[in-house]
Each structure stands twice: as C-alpha cells, then as structure tokens.
Amino acid sequence: MNSLLLTGGRVIDPANNFDSIADVLILDGKISAVGKQLSAPAGGPSFNARGKIVSPGLIDLHVHFREPGQTAKENIATGTAAAARGGFTSVVCMPNTAPAIDSAGTVALIRECAEREGLVNVFVSGAITKGLAGEELAPIGGLKKAGVVAITDDGRCVQNNDLMRRACEYAKMFNLPLFDHCQDYSLVTDGVMHEGYWSVVLGLRGWPSAGEEMIVARNILLAELTGAKIHCQHLSAAGSVQLLRDAKRRGVPISGEACPHHFTLTAAAVAGSEKFWGADGQSLAQTQGGRLPFWPAYDTHFKMNPPLRSAADRDAILEGLADGTIEILCSDHAPHCDYEKEVEFDYAPFGITGLEVELALSLMQLVHTQRLSLAELIAKFTVNPARLLDLKKGTLSVGADADVTVFDPERKWVFRREDSASKSKNNPFFGWQLQGKALATIVGGRIVWSEPA
C-alpha cells in the first residue's frame, strides 16, 4: 500500500468549509483521512507541514503548453514542471497549437503525451471553430467524446454572433463550458497596448477597453438566450467587471477569471513608469526592500492581450475578486522564445509566462492586503474552477484524488530567471521579491516537486 502522511499543517479545504490544524493521510493515491494525530502504515513516509498551509491541489484552467507544433517555446514536460513549481496539480491547456485542437486525434495525442511526460494532471480544451478560423464549427460532440473539458478559440475570438450562438447551443447540449477571449476586432484593430494616456505618450496604437467590454456584453446576452455556461477569460477592464456583476445578479450562467498581471501592474509599466506595487498605495520600492527593478520603456515583457490597463481598471479587477464577481484566478501562461520578444514593441507577440509566480502575486495583492481570506483565495484556485469544469478535483474529501498543495504564504523569495522550469523566460517579474511560495506539490499521492531543503 502506497501511503503519505502530511502532519501538523493548517488544512484549508473550501469545498468542505474546513480550516483547522490537522493531518492528512493519503493511501493509494486517494485522500484516506483528515484529522488529528493520524498514523501512517508502518514505515510509511511523512511530510512535516507544521506552520504551513495544506490545501487541495491548485488548478489553473488557462495555460498554453504549445504542444504540438510550437515546442521551441514550451512543451508538456517543461510546462507541467513549471506548474508543479508553482503549486499547481491540474492545468487546462488551450487549443491554439499547430495544428489547433479541433479533432479527436489531436486531443488523443496531447492526452497520451501528458500521460507519458506530464508531472501534473493535464486537461484539454477543444476549439470552437475549425482551425480557430471563426468560420465553421469544430465537431464539438466528437471533442467531448475525446475528453475535452471545455471549448474555446482562445487567442482568437469568434466574431460572427450567429456562429457563436450555435456554439453555445452545442456546448449546452454536451454540457461543456464555453471559454471566450473577449476581443472585438473592429474596435481593437491593430492596437498593441491599452488606449489611454500612456499609449499617446509612447506613440503606440491603442487597444480600447470597449474592445473587451463589447464581447463580454455579447456573451452575457448569449448565455441568457441559450442557457450555456460562458466563461470570460482574463478580464482586464472595469466595464467588463460591472457587466459581469450585473449579469450574475440576474442569474445569468456567466463567469470570469483574472490574471495576476492585470491586478498587479498597469499600462505605466510599458513606459517604465509604474509607481505602485498595488492599489494599496505602498510604493514598489518599499515592497522591494528599496531595490526598484529596472524597467525600460517599450519592454515587450509587458505586452499581453488583453493589455495592462489603467489604475482604475486594476482597482476594478481587485474589487471584482474581493466581492466574488470574479470567481477564478489563472495565469494565461503564454511562453514565447527570447528572439520573438527581442524586437520592436509593435512586432512582439502578446503574452507572458506566469505559473511559477501566480500564487505569490495573488497572495500579495489579495490576502496580504486583506481583500480576501486565505480560504477565499484558495477557493478561486480549487473548488471554483473544478465546479465550472465539472472535475472531481479541488477538494480534500475522503476518497478524492490525492492532489495536494503545501505552501507558505509568508515565505519571501526572489524570482530568478535561472530558477524557472519553463522553457521560455518571457516574464516581467524576474528579480522581484515575492511573498508566498509553494513548498510541495502532490499529484495522485506522489510528491512531484518540493522545495529543496
């Protein structure tokens, strides 16, 4: 019998409203017991979790592992290694690969590769449209049968509203959530950063907030019309949060997610002029112990889609997370090769990596500023995404899969380029002093990563 005993940690399991000092006993890959003074089978290994948080394994439902077809940027082996270092036991990979995940064969390829090379659970999302072209629906029923947990054209947005309506009807028929990258191309055109003061100062083409808000409004109407579960990805604009808040109050089956870069940084970072760590008024230099990271203007590591927005937008995202309007946190982990980012801002691809700093940034911006309790934060990484995707994950209930994260919310550390497990290094947070760190990641009862002693 394979066993592992986690002793003396503060166990927080939002799915069961459990928050207490306790032991967790794992037998044969399942949670066997949670309680006081548990004992492992004779000779079984144990992990001392005293003074640490023991939670259900964290879930990130929005990552790009670039396999198949773009493995110079990332692959399943390196992507899951980064996930494990960040404390994540389950991830959902997006379909904008080459070829796109729009057939049962490609789904099978990724699942087989993940089974062979992945350190953590890898779930697959399928495309809404063939080739992500936004013109013809992908075989949604066949994708569901092949094992996808959601459908999305992430990286692109279906512009044809009638086609999107039909996709919603099929998604409801097959009980699949539909994720949407909210971007109205006719409003955004060729924008590369948030439209506002800094885009004018820097002479860069603007990406207006209305370009996101227009599609969020469209999705609310379609969710209300069809009854499909629509999930708005990586929200960045204040108007989007308010639209979502109003719709949820009416009972519309709509949800949203937020990424740490959108509630930590603003568009000023593109100009090298970010003044504050967060919305609490504490200066970045103070939080960094007086060491202000060097940010040159036009740094492409601050180029993402949707873009970093204004301080007011960042405050609205934080408020939406605090009041429950935004129920899920994710990274939008988007690796790119160095040479792709080392070009003029206009020509660089959108996106940054994020799995390894996601937990720390979320703790710093949401828990250490007292916007959320630890239990509320953990829920946004566990039971909430599991419920949306209808996964039997995100809980420490007896009999559940033994996916567990052990972390220290107070641990201070510096994120260094050489310490990243990701194949790509396009991240703006290198050199930052962070607070909060995963110490062990357990998948199916096996420790797949732990902080070196």
Residues designated catalytic = 332
First-to-last C-alpha distance (Å) of the chain: 27
Q: State the SS3 of the chain.
A: CCEEEEEEEEEEEHHHCEEEEEEEEEECCEEEEEECCCCCCCCCCEEECCCCEEEECEEEEEECCCCCCCCCCCCHHHHHHHHHHCCEEEEEECCCCCCCCCCHHHHHHHHHHHHHHCCCEEEEEECCEHHHCCCCECCHHHHHHHCCCEEECCCCCCCCHHHHHHHHHHHHHCCCCEEECCCCHHHHCCCCEECCHHHHHHCCCEECCHHHHHHHHHHHHHHHHHCCCEEECCCCCHHHHHHHHHHHHCCCCEEEEECHHHHHCCHHHHHCCCCECCCCCCEHHHHCCCCCCCCCCCCHHHCCCCCCCCHHHHHHHHHHHHCCCCCEECCCECCCCHHHHCCCHHHCCCCCCCCCCHHHHHHHHHHCCCCCCHHHHHHHHCHHHHHHHCCCCCCCCCCCECCEEEEEEEEEEECCHHHCCCCCCCCCCCCCEEEEEEEEEEECCEEEEECCC
